[in-house]
């Protein structure tokens, strides 16, 4: 007897992208797998991942979707009106995220600004989350990323995880934050060691580490204020 998976038939002959996304996160999926999730189903002749791969090959890769019209997509075998519109909508959402209005960007003028920005998201988490804010030359937030989720008492962070996304976004500076699930924001020796390491790496790359803020339950501590970010200029 065939086990019922709850997935479309066209996905059962390989590891389902949706299952991998749930288990490992969207960043673990290839471009064709992400596009397959948008499509949801393939055709009788073509599995959904193969159909997504066919589309990307036709437009010469992911960035080719930016300049491809709905009518061109519909000319691809297996891509009807519905799937072409799904692609167009997804691409436009991406465009709007990237070009988000400058007036909506938060400017970080002090540690309080950064702590307030993330406090409600971090203060009640049961595991340590290490977050990085990417900032432009005026210290406005141009991006953010959670780079590490640790245990209740530890968060391991490597400089390459911090600076690789910052370089891609052409960030002038970064500001690091993480929570203490205990509610007590007092920095640990590990927090201090990570801060010093990141400041040294940032100095080599020419990307300022403006601060490392530890968030507790309604409280925070700035490691810059404690003197552990002396190698980089102060935010604001």
Say whether pLDDT at 74 is over 80: yes
Q: 86-114: per-residue pLDDT in tens?
A: 999 998 898 777 665 555 678 999 999 99
Q: 121-135: per-residue pLDDT in tens?
A: 888 787 898 999 999
Half-sphere exposure of 85 (CA within 13 A, CB side): 3
Average pLDDT, the chain: 85
Out of 51-65, 97-111, 187-201, pick the least confident. 97-111
SS3 209: strand
Out of 13-27, 31-45, 72-86, 106-120, pick the least confident. 13-27
pTM of the model: 0.56
Of residues 178 and 152, more confidence is placed in 178
Task: Report how far residue 96's alpha carbon sits from residue 84's, in angstroms, rounded to the nearest whole number.
Answer: 19
Task: Report how far residue 31's alpha carbon sits from residue 55's, in angstroms, rounded to the nearest whole number.
Answer: 11
List b or e across 5-22, with b for residues whose CB sees 16 or more CB atoms inside 10 angstroms.
eeeeebbeeeebbbebbe
């Amino acid at each position: 007897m065939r086990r019922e998976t709850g997935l479309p038939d066209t996905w059962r002959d390989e590891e389902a992208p949706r299952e991998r996304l749930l288990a490992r996160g969207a960043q673990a999926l290839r471009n064709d797998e992400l596009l397959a999730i948008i499509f949801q189903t393939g055709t009788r002749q073509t599995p959904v991942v193969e159909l997504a791969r066919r589309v990307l090959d036709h437009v010469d890769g992911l960035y080719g979707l930016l300049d491809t019209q709905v009518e061109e997509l519909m000319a691809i075998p297996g891509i009807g009106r519905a799937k072409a519109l799904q692609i167009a909508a997804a691409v436009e959402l991406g465009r709007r995220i990237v070009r988000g209005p400058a007036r909506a960007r938060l400017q970080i003028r002090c540690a309080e600004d950064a702590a307030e920005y993330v406090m409600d998201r971090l203060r009640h988490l049961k595991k340590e989350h290490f977050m990085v804010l990417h900032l432009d030359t005026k210290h406005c937030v141009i991006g953010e990323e959670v780079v590490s989720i640790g245990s209740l008492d530890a968060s391991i962070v490597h400089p390459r995880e911090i600076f690789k996304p910052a370089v891609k976004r052409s960030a002038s500076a970064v500001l690091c934050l993480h929570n203490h699930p205990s509610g007590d924001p007092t920095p640990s020796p590990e927090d201090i060691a990570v801060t010093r390491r990141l400041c040294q790496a940032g100095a080599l790359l020419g990307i300022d580490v403006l601060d490392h803020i530890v968030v507790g339950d309604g409280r925070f501590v700035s490691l810059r204020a404690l003197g552990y970010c002396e190698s980089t200029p102060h935010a604001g």
